[in-house]
Amino acid sequence: MSLLLLFALPQSANAIGWDSDDFLIGGGSSFTTRIGVFDHDLTFKGYLDTNFVTVAGLDFNAQGQLVAVAGAMRSVRVYEPINGAIVGGFTRQDDLLGMAADLKVAPDGSYVIGTQDSGGGDGARRFLADGAFAQQYGSGDIRAVAVLPGNFAWTSGIGIGAINVFDLTTGTQTGTIALGGFTSVRSMAYSAPTNTVLVVSQGFVREFDLQGSVVRDFASPGIDLSRATRGANGQVFATTGSNRQVLRWSESGDFLGSTFTPVDFGPSGIAWAGITKNHFSCFDLEEISTIPKLRCARRAHFAQRDQYMGRRCFSRHARFMGPRASQFIDK
């Protein structure tokens, strides 16, 4: 097999981990080389990695670890939140990763990567956690991928003109979603709290429901956009590359402002640790009469550092659980 596994690789002495409400952002001066850690208010805290050339596609696995890909280095790296150590990943000796532009973690722990159509790339490809090639999804300049409930993947890219829908397991295309008024997609991200997908084009973020209907637009104030994620209180955050800004909008689409990143750090890929499918979840534990009792649970990897989130976890998600959710806070 033409790959090399990585495990527990040494990090820079200055590498740091991240907290449960931090943003992880890939960036660099002229192209992406680093992963920065930013507080919930986008205050720069330090670097998770300073040498991952062309880093892209930040996502979290089921253990709450960050996964990132770098096509130029033919590598995927997996980072531990406690101390930022590289604890997994792989390096391929061939060019199947292409010029990787995006990565999303599938439910089975494999990685769906948008490989573009250069440097050996073509369409989207799925790789197992050990680096073995598993599946091809379409062809062309695929730069954006999203993994959705039901074991589906959405793919798109520059000049594609649509979003293509694939069955993750079989690789069969099951549908096409019209973009409506634009032809290119720079990135996509599934938003679990709202069960929608954030689709980034040059001048806006467009939110789609899972049936492909447009929910709303988040319009940029004349600044090109790169990647987007959902943050606290349903807000949407988008990076701007060489413009060195992270823009933010309210959940309803109102523009709220921007924050500059460090002078030599043009932000690209972005992920928020506060709401992920892997970090913590709110779920039904039992029925009390006819009212569900909801409790927020922390994942074990944060238990070493943080206290049980309790009401803080619940309050962050209660707004997505219906108008009576506040009645069900677990004591």
Beta bridge partners of 316: none
DSSP state of 73: G
What are the tens digits of pLDDT across the range 112-171?
999 999 999 999 999 999 999 999 999 999 999 999 999 999 999 988 889 999 999 999
Give the position of tokens 């954006």. 144
Calpha distance 147→46 (Å, rounded): 29
The domain segmentation of the chain, as residue ranges, is 3-272, 282-328
What are the tens digits of pLDDT across the range 280-301?
333 322 322 332 332 333 333 3
Q: What is the pLDDT of residue 4?
A: 58
How confident is residue 6, by pLDDT bands cut at 50, 70 and 90? Answer: low
What average pLDDT does range 31-39 have in this prediction?
Answer: 97
What are the tens digits of pLDDT across the range 180-223?
888 899 999 999 999 999 999 988 999 999 999 999 999 999 99
Q: How many CB atoms lie within 10 A of CB 311?
A: 13
| The pairing of beta strand 245-249 with beta strand 236-239 | antiparallel
How confident is residue 98, by pLDDT bands cut at 50, 70 and 90? Answer: very high
Is the pLDDT at 279 greater than 50, yes or no?
no
> Cβ distance 97 to 69 under 8 Å?
yes
What are the tens digits of pLDDT across the range 296-323?
333 333 333 333 233 333 333 333 333 3
Calpha distance 50→331 (Å, rounded): 43
Q: What is the pLDDT of residue 74?
A: 97
What average pLDDT does range 252-266 have in this prediction?
Answer: 96
Calpha distance 122→142 (Å, rounded): 7
Calpha distance 129→152 (Å, rounded): 18
> Cβ distance 171 to 165 under 8 Å?
no
Assigned CATH for 3-272? 2.130.10.10
Calpha distance 179→52 (Å, rounded): 33
Which residues have C-beta within 8 Å of that of residue 308, sequence separation ≥ 6? 298
Calpha distance 196→210 (Å, rounded): 6
- What sign does the CA torsion over 230, 31, 259, 86 have? positive
DSSP E strand stretches across 29-73 = 34-38, 44-49, 55-60, 66-70
Mean per-residue pLDDT over the chain, rounded: 83
303 vs 269, higher pLDDT: 269
Q: What is the pLDDT of residue 287?
A: 29
Q: What is the pLDDT of residue 299?
A: 38
How confident is residue 172, by pLDDT bands cut at 50, 70 and 90? Answer: very high
From 189, 162, 186, select the one nearest 176 (Cα to Cα). 162
10 vs 128, higher pLDDT: 128
Percent of the chain with pLDDT over 70: 79
Residue 233, SS3 per DSSP: helix
Q: What is the pLDDT of residue 3?
A: 58
Which residues have C-beta within 8 Å of that of residue 300, sequence separation ≥ 6? none
What average pLDDT does range 270-278 have in this prediction?
Answer: 77
- C-alpha 115, offset from chain centre: 16
